[in-house]
Amino acid sequence: MNLKIWIRGLLPAGLAAVLLLPSGMLRSAPSGAAAGYRSVIDHGANGADDIDDTAAFQKAIDAASGEAGGVVFVPAGRYLISDTLVLAKSAVTLMGEGRATSAARTPTGSMLVLRPGKTNTAVLVRDCSYSGLKNLSIERETGAAAGPIPEKNRKDAIVRMEGTYHAFACELLLINAVCGVEIVNGISPLLEDVDIKSPRGDYGVWLRGSGKPADGGKFRKVDAALFYRLSGGADRESRVEWVVVGPNADGAEVNDARFVAGSRGLVLRGGDPAAGDIRPKYIYTHKFGCDHVADEGVLMEAGNDVFMTNTWIGQNKNASGIVVGPEFTGGLLMTNVRVRGAGGHGMHIQGGRNIYINNPLIGACGTNRDLVPPSSKEAAGILIEAGVTQLRVTGGGVGGMFEQGGRSRQHYGIRYQGTDKQAAKDSVRISGVDTDGNAVPFSPAGLSLDGK
């Protein structure tokens, strides 16, 4: 399966030659611009952060040509939005003049300021092909004007894609979103250069299939999603899970992602098989990292056929660094995985088969006194539960106490959690792994002999 789907050339010819008014706003289509080009200013948008521009934006979007394609241009400014903008025509791009920060009251880029009340979703891309948004910021208004987040809206994403074909969200800055981006059903959605700041809800990016076509749509799953350069930061008390791949996701590629704080970095979630949900599969990550998340850096509750390379988990205080759950079917390759300072184990393999761990660098785990009391000697670099089969660990190192000022309680290098030594030797193969710094490098001891 080739998941590398590139969407380029979204800038129409002639866009560089723009006509600016003294206010700095684009009033009409530039000379030489492609047919289907619209500026939101032409449709009555103000961009001064004090007038509701929702209707003007929607008029511009609706006027854009769906058949020949069109660009709805958002010049630099702050645009107040009070309801969801809907892109339901194919080949329409909502495009700004650059990402702006919330600190700039007269930004050089384009910012949509979402005033919650009716909704926490600023943009919905629905039932269309090759449509999306790029090169702008969206900020959810906070404070007294915004009010608290109703519980029923906690899962509302600031950007939502539903039932689309090659939809995209590129070069976005999302600020104070309840949640970041939700993708439900569709083929080959693309996220590229998306930065999510201070989410207040449950997830940064949520990818899932509904299991049945939604609202008369034709898709029941998400296939071949592609994410490039995702980033985010949250408050320490935030419960956000940064990237959640849910049921009925058939192929997702996450390249170059880095997150700070929140609850978890990457979660694979299986749904309800009795209801026909399919576990996520064909998941690929490269250069995925998270620091100071509260819980697991990577949690695979369910899934199969997962490939992870160049993964970094640092200082997650309330759980093991990487957890493979009992519902994980199998087919897992992890190479160049680093886990430092996990509160529990470095890796906890609870289920699955055909698991290959190449060149791990794990150490200084068991730092949480509540998870690993001072009297306990249970923490391991890699803990393998009985029942796991066909697991291989090659190369790298599973070190003990270092870089933690003596706070680590990692006692075991690699431990098989079971009393049947023969089962351990039959199920687990280990070769070329450095275990210096552990009181017990391997348990049971037979594991040190490459399972022989």
Strand partners, 348: 323, 383
User: For 68-103, what is each residue's pLDDT tens digit?
Assistant: 668 999 999 999 999 999 999 899 999 999 998 765
The answer to whether 78 and 50 are in contact (CB under 8 A) is no
For residue 255, give Cα distances in angstroms to 46, 100, 224, 295: 37, 24, 13, 22
Residue type, 356: Y
User: Is residue 262 assigned to a domain?
Assistant: no
Residue count of the chain: 452
- Name the 3-class secondary structure at 433: coil
User: Is residue 110 assigned to a domain?
Assistant: no
Strand partners, 415: 383, 443
List, in order, residues 6 or more apart from 370 with CB less than 8 Å away.
Answer: none
For 374-414, give the DSSP string: TT---EEEEEEETT-EEEEEESSEE--S-SSTT---EEEEE
**How many separate domains does the chain show?**
1
User: Is residue 155 assigned to a domain?
Assistant: no
Provide the pLDDT for residue 376.
57
**Torsion angle of C-alpha atoms 444, 445, 448, 452, degrees rounded to 10:** -80
User: For 155-186, what is each residue's pLDDT tens digit?
Assistant: 789 999 999 999 999 999 999 988 999 999 99
Domain that holds residue 350: 295-451
CA 48 to chain centre: 32
Distance, in Å, from the CA atom of 363 to the CA atom of 290, rounded to the nearest integer, reads 16
What is the CB neighbour count within 10 angstroms for residue 327?
Answer: 17
User: Is residue 133 assigned to a domain?
Assistant: no
User: Is residue 357 assigned to a domain?
Assistant: yes
The answer to whether 64 and 130 are in contact (CB under 8 A) is no
- Name the 3-class secondary structure at 345: coil
Provide the pLDDT for residue 107.
62
First-to-last CA distance in the chain?
A: 37
User: Is residue 418 assigned to a domain?
Assistant: yes
The answer to whether 161 and 169 are in contact (CB under 8 A) is yes
Q: Which two three-digit tokens encode residue 136?
A: 């702008």
Distance, in Å, from the CA atom of 308 to the CA atom of 102, rounded to the nearest integer, reads 35
User: Is residue 75 assigned to a domain?
Assistant: no
List, in order, residues 6 or more apart from 125 with CB less than 8 Å away.
Answer: 87, 88, 131, 132, 133, 159, 160, 161, 162, 164, 167, 169
Alpha-helical (H) ranges within 98-200 are none
Distance, in Å, from the CA atom of 327 to the CA atom of 339, rounded to the nearest integer, reads 23
From 122, 53, 134, 135, select the one nearest 92 (Cα to Cα). Answer: 134
Provide the pLDDT for residue 440.
81
> Average pLDDT by consecutive 10-residue portion of the chain (452 residues)?
36 34 39 65 88 95 75 94 94 93 67 88 94 96 67 83 96 94 96 93 92 59 95 90 94 97 95 85 96 96 95 93 93 96 92 95 85 68 90 88 53 82 84 82 65 39
Distance, in Å, from the CA atom of 268 to the CA atom of 157, rounded to the nearest integer, reads 19
Residue owning tokens 């009925």? 248
Residue owning tokens 């296939």? 223
For residue 303, give Cα distances in angstroms to 208, 241, 243, 296, 338: 13, 17, 15, 16, 22
User: Is residue 25 assigned to a domain?
Assistant: no
Residue type, 342: A
Q: What is the sign of the dihedral through the CA atoms of 287, 293, 296 and 301?
A: negative
Q: Which two three-digit tokens encode residue 351?
A: 């289920």
For 118, which DSSP code? S
